[in-house]
Amino acid sequence: MQLRPLGRSGLQVSPLCFGGNVFGWTADEATSFALLDAWVDAGFNFVDTADVYSRWAPGHQGGESETVIGKWLAVSGKRDRIVLATKVGMDMGEGRTGLKAARIREAVEASLRRLRTDRIDLYQAHQDDPSTPLEETLAAFDALVREGKVRAIGASNYTAARLGEALETSQRLGLARYESLQPLYNLCDRAAFERELQPLCLAQGLGVLNYYALAAGFLTGKYRVPEDAGRSPRGKGVVGKYLNPRGLRILAALDEAARRSGHASGQVAIAWLLARPGVTSPIASATSLPQLQELVQAAQLRLDDRTLALLDAASADDPAAA
């Protein structure tokens, strides 16, 4: 498997990243261990999580995913075979939120303990914190890089304006810069990324680790009529957002592309992302070994120009771009 450079960080990552939000939530510990072992054994090395995963679940307080990964690392001894990414900045309760220097310092130490490691390969700002000066945030991240606790830093959910400002701040002050961006990007959600963020990432040489690669499952073809909203806990939101004339056109194009390629619709949707300019490693999750095998096959799928043009045309007329 050909690894891809992550910005200018020196990190080399697999063409797909395993989204760790499922660990300790929809995938129990034993299943999570099996998924992580299979991921590495298939030649992939990139795993992404966050301190807040999975605080939204009843009875959870955050840190569950990192804890599971840490236990797996201790049992498997595979720390040196993965590029480990986590994030800071979301609300962890009791005032633990944002990107102030003290919060970053507190959070990284907690993440390192849960992950049972001495370093985080990619430490990301989970969301922008307009209340904290970029100088303070980036200086805190820079200190962690200098100490060896973090190898590279990245941003998630930043606007192009704020990402550009952050890059300029790092250059001006001689601080570690964001080497990657984690945006929402898929066949259904194109305009927000492609209009301003994609050109900036390409110009600055940032890696792109887009999340919701399958539009919360919509691009697998799981939701085709309003009644399908009951097929999962998040189905109502997925149907409400994506099940419209444009969404149906995208599904029809995916069906045709799947017929041509002999692969499932979700695999085609990931292959389309892998062919997009600037995309480094889309993030996708699995909760079973058969689902993981589908991701492995998707990373190996190459779509021809005719199929890419079909998908481009079906998804191009994003109402948000008007």
Res. 319 pLDDT band, cuts 50 70 90 = very low
Boundaries of every domain in the chain: 4-182
pLDDT, tens only, 244-298 = 999 999 999 999 999 999 999 999 999 999 999 999 999 999 999 999 999 999 9
CATH number for the domain running over 4-182: 3.20.20.100
Residue 3 near residue 45 (C-beta atoms within 8 A): yes
pLDDT, tens only, 104-153 = 999 999 999 999 999 999 999 999 999 999 999 999 999 999 999 999 99
C-beta atoms surrounding 102 within 10 Å: 10
pLDDT, tens only, 13-23 = 999 999 999 99
Record the pTM. 0.95
pLDDT at residue 8 greater than cutoff 70: yes
> Which pLDDT score, from 0 to 100, does residue 233 have?
76
CA distance 102 to 116: 21
Do the bridges between strand 4-5 and strand 12-13 make them parallel or antiparallel, or are there none, so unpaired?
A: antiparallel
Q: Which residues pair with 181 in a beta bridge?
A: 155, 208
Residue 87 near residue 41 (C-beta atoms within 8 A): no
> Which pLDDT score, from 0 to 100, does residue 235 have?
87
The catalytic site residues sit at 53
pLDDT, tens only, 21-40 = 999 999 999 999 999 999 99
Average pLDDT over residues 216-227: 93
> Which pLDDT score, from 0 to 100, does residue 231 have?
87
